[in-house]
Amino acid sequence: MTDLEARYRRLLRWYPQAHRAVHEEEMLGVLMAGAEPGRTRPKVAESADLIRGAARIRLRHAFGPESGPSWRSAFALAGLVATLVLACELVPQSLFLFWNGYFWAPATAFGLALALVAVLILRAPRWLAAGAAWAWAAGYLAWSLPQVLPLDFSDMYSFSSSQPLPVVLQFAPVVLVAVLVTLRPDRPVVPYRKVLGWSALLVGAGLPQLYQFENWFYETIGSLGYETEAILFMLPLTVLAVLAGQAARTATGRRTIVLAAVPVLLMTGYDLLVLWMTGSWLFGSLGLLIPAVIMFVLARRGKPVPQTPVPG
């Protein structure tokens, strides 16, 4: 392989994998045929043209008319995924209350109600699922908001000019989940076993968070600061990163990630934001983010799966 060919091949990596599988050799033939003898590097204009062409193809594949079915499946799935992640986030808190004798604490009731919303998303007509999601969101906000009022976070955050921000960040996912459920065009097509498996894994990953309520944890690790305490959030974030990595191998999965990213990241990445806002970005935010990114990249490896409606 000549230097020029190797450089052209590197530029062709900008193209989607499916496009490269069909057209890489053909495009290489065209590029080599157009190159003057003795040339070892592509011209700047040629490189820019290849990158621009790759961007056009990627954009058209992502948003063009043929991507319609994938977006439809993704809209169907995103509400369910966000609802389940939110439910899994509530489970450790509910379990803690349950073990401490508060069998019907509001948190437990909200966890169970959200599981019911997930069932409605899967089985009921859209209006019923959307109604249940909004009712749940309204109830949850009415219950939680008074607990964080008045909005005085001066002892927690280093800024004072935007005190409502943490509250907005905390409650935005609840509203966004209801929005996604409302936008659901069809009932999501999902293998129940897989959904249950991932949900159980996410709940399991969240269980170590119960330690933050234990005296020994609070007195030892907790006393070292929130940055150290954030290690408890590493597991759920890693599980989600693996799930996202696997989902990213399908067209529908990639679109589901885009749609569900904001509420899910606000739910599970809330602690990342807190760490960032408190200035603990080096060991705290990056300490959580780097393992998650590595797991995402590892899980994404392997053959891209052509059209399947289910991520993971």
Partner 1 sequence: MQEPTFLILTALAAGPQHGYGVITDVAEISEGRVVLRAGTLYAALDRLRAEGLIEADREEIVDGRVRRYYRLTGEGATRLAEEVDRITRHANAATTRLRQRFSTAWGMP
Shortest distance in whole angstroms from residue 77 CB to partner 1: 25
d(CA 262, CA 281): 20
Cβ nearer to partner 1, comparing 51 with 116: 51
Which residues neighbour 17 within 8 Å (Cβ) at sequence distance 6 or greater?
304
Give the binding-site size for partner 1 (rule: CB under 8 A): 25
For partner 1, which residue of 41, 63, 66, 109 counts as binding (CB under 8 A)?
A: 66
- Token pair 């439910």 is found at 87
Is residue 251 part of the contact set for partner 1 (CB under 8 A)? no
Is residue 219 part of the contact set for partner 1 (CB under 8 A)? no
Cβ nearer to partner 1, comparing 6 with 148: 6
For partner 1, which residue of 3, 13, 17, 51 counts as binding (CB under 8 A)?
A: 51
For partner 1, which residue of 7, 9, 23, 39 counts as binding (CB under 8 A)?
A: 23
Which residues neighbour 178 within 8 Å (Cβ) at sequence distance 6 or greater?
130, 133, 134, 136, 137
Is residue 19 part of the contact set for partner 1 (CB under 8 A)? yes
Is residue 49 part of the contact set for partner 1 (CB under 8 A)? yes
Question: Where does residue 134 rank: exposed (0-12), middle (13-18), buried (19+ CB within 10 A)?
Answer: middle
DSSP 212: G
The 10 Å Cβ neighbour count of residue 57 is 17
Question: Where does residue 202 rank: exposed (0-12), middle (13-18), buried (19+ CB within 10 A)?
Answer: buried
Shortest distance in whole angstroms from residue 256 CB to partner 1: 23
Cβ nearer to partner 1, comparing 54 with 195: 54
d(CA 248, CA 62): 13
For partner 1, which residue of 6, 13, 29, 223 counts as binding (CB under 8 A)?
A: 29
Question: End-to-end distance of the chain based on CA atoms, in angstroms?
Answer: 38
Shortest distance in whole angstroms from residue 15 CB to partner 1: 8
Shortest distance in whole angstroms from residue 36 CB to partner 1: 14
Which residues neighbour 265 within 8 Å (Cβ) at sequence distance 6 or greater?
none
Is residue 65 part of the contact set for partner 1 (CB under 8 A)? yes
Shortest distance in whole angstroms from residue 18 CB to partner 1: 11
- Summarize as ranges the residues that interact with partner 1 (CB under 8 A): 19, 23, 25-31, 33-34, 45-46, 49-54, 56-57, 60, 64-66
